[in-house]
Each structure stands twice: as C-alpha cells, then as structure tokens.
Structure 1
Amino acid sequence: MTSLPQDPPSRISEDARDTAVRRLQEAYAEGHISHEEMDEGLGEVLTATTRSELVPVLASLPEENAGSTSTIAAAGGRIRRRGTWRVPRMLKVESAFGKVYLDLSQAVFEHPVVDIELQLGTGKARITVPRDAIVDAEALHTGWKDSRYRSRRRSGPGGPTIRISGAMGFGRLTIRHARR
C-alpha cells in the first residue's frame, strides 16, 4: 500500500508577513504586549517561511476589529472632511479626479494607530493632522510629484500615529500639523 505524498506547507506571502508585522506593532502600541514580546514576535515573523509558523506568534494577540474600516469614494469632485468627526481605524479614500482635503485636527481618535489608504488618480490631497500626531507616509507611492511633509521637531506624548499608504497618480500630497 502506497501513501499519497503530502502537500508541502504553503509558503508565506509578503502580504501575510506584512499583516503579521502590522498586528504585532498595533498590539504593542495599544499596550497588549511588551516591547520584548514585540521584538521576539517580529523576529519570528520575519524569519518564518510558512504560514503555519505565524500561527503561534499571532495566537496571543487580540482579534482585529474588522468593523473599523470606512471608505470615502468619489469619481470626480471634492472629498472633504473637517470639524469634529470620528476617525476609523482604517480609512480608505478613493478618487479618480478631484481634490481631497482631510482635516484631522479636531477629529476624535479612538485608536492610537490609524491607517489612511489613498487611491487617487489625479488631483491634489491635503491632510491636516493634530499637533502631537506622528506621521508615517513612507508607504505612499506617488507617480508624478513627491509628497510634502516636514515632521515636527518635537511631538508631545500621547498623540495618534497616522500611517499613510496607497498610490497617487498625478498630484501632490501635502501633510501639515495643526497650529493649535
């Protein structure tokens, strides 16, 4: 009697690895794990070769809240958010043509880390963040013009971390810290 060969374990994709890294960083930022636990988990995630190796690392982390993603979309025209509004954990902004203006200076942040994904064709985008916010826009890919952002010299503790990713075709992203 011959046995059937077993399927080899599935190799880990870069998306799965990136998701695991993001979940570890969020768990640390929200105080669910210590710095040492995050370092150890990152080491295991970055050296993992199969999906099954990620299971023990992610098993002790809190579940992701899938209901905290919102999408703002417009084919053309202007997308504008300002004043007091709740910022979801994940905000997707999609526009083929037009301007995008997000003013987060008076917004209510329920999460210490907020991801904003921009998918813009043409037109410019401007994001105003709170004074004490930490901004990371390294994952944003621009096609025509570079982003304009100058980080604050000093940021106060306790501000939200805003990660901006996605793609912009023709246009420029300008990020500014609120003055007050």
Structure 2
Amino acid sequence: MTPLPENLPPQISEDDRDTAVQRLQDAYTQGLLSHEEMDARLHQALTAKTPSELAVALTSLPDEDAGTTATIAAASGRIRRHGAWRVPRMLKIHSAFGRVHLDLSRAVIEHPVVDIELQLGSGGAKITVPRDAVVEVEALRTVWKDPLYKVRRRSRSGGPKIRISGTMEFGRLKIRHALR
C-alpha cells in the first residue's frame, strides 16, 4: 500500500467555485468589472486548484454582504415563509424530511435576481412567485419527479428573475404565479 503524501494542498469545493463565479457575475452587473476583466477572472476561478488561486480571481472585489444570503434548515417538519417577508439575494433551503412552502407574492424583493437553492431529501416544495416574475429551473436536479411549472404566456416586464437550483431527492417542486 502506497502512503498518501502529507502536504496535499486544500481542495476547492464546487460550492466555493460556484460562489466565486456568482460574485464575479454580480460585480460585472454592478459595473465593477469590465467584460474582458470578468472573462479573465472567470477563467481563473474555473481553473483554480487551490483556495489561494481562487482568492486571486476575487481580489479587489468588495466583501460579500452577509445580509444577501440566508439559510433556512430543518431536519424534519415544515419550512414556511409567507406575507411581507424580506427575500435575500441568495436563499438556501435545506431539509432532510419535510415540506417547504415559500410564498413570494407579497414578499419584499429588493434584488433583480433571486437565487433559491433547494437541498431537499424527501418532501415536496411549493413556491408562489410574483405575477410578473420570470422563473428559471434548469439548474435544479430532481431524482424522482420533474418540477411542475407552467410558464406564463403574457408577463409584464420588470419583475424579478427567480432562479431555482439545487437537488430534490424524493418530492416534487410546484411553482405557480400569484394571481394578483
């Protein structure tokens, strides 16, 4: 049996890499990076092998605002948000067993793009989005059932973009637009 080398450099997780890419894209949309600079830094972030190499791609960017990311986690039971609640830029929902219901129809949405990351074991999820929202679910990986979502034919422009990603094991995601 061959012994493993003792001084292996730390590895980058996919979450770390995805977070770095998101920060670069946000900096570009805020006008902090030129198109060429964003391309070069994205290449650095995607090819980095160590955390220090990844950090180089993020130099001179403002620190990430902790208030723009929130995590709601439960081992079992229900996760429910409704009414006039403030939606962060990035919302992470983690539940091993239980149902999730997010109602964004009357929520305070201050960001043009809201990312919702679902990490659900068993149990379904229902998300009600504002009437004028644009929804993307292409980054969601489902094991058991595909999401139920009917794209609105006529949608007023100017609504938030809701991007849903993550993994759902045994359960179904149902998305609907608010009626008003």
Structure-2-length-normalised TM-score? 0.75
Per-residue deviation, residues 68-106 of structure 1 (Å, max 9, x unmatched): 333333444332211211012332223333321111111
RMSD of the alignment, in Å?
3.0
Given the superposition, is the C-alpha separation of residues 98 and 20 from structure 1 closer, same or farther in structure 2, using an over 3 Å criterion? closer
Structure 2 distance, partners of 1:32, 1:58, is: 12
Per the alignment, residue 64 of structure 1 pairs with: 64
Structure 1: 5+ residue stretches without partners: 1-6
Moved over 6 A (4+): 7-11
Number of equivalenced pairs = 174
Question: After superposition, where does 1:1-180 map in structure 2 within 5 Å?
Answer: 14-48=14-48, 51-153=51-153, 155-180=155-180
Per-residue deviation, residues 153-179 of structure 1 (Å, max 9, x unmatched): 465444323222222221100112223
1:66 partner letter: A
Structure-1-length-normalised TM-score? 0.75
Per-residue deviation, residues 19-78 of structure 1 (Å, max 9, x unmatched): 221111122334433445433433443355555554443213221112433333344433
Structure 2 distance, partners of 1:116, 1:44, is: 26
Secondary structure, in 3 states, of the residue corresponding to 1:18? helix
Per the alignment, residue 4 of structure 2 pairs with: none
Per the alignment, residue 3 of structure 2 pairs with: none
Q: CA deviation at 1:108?
A: 0.8
Structure 2: 5+ residue stretches without partners: 1-6
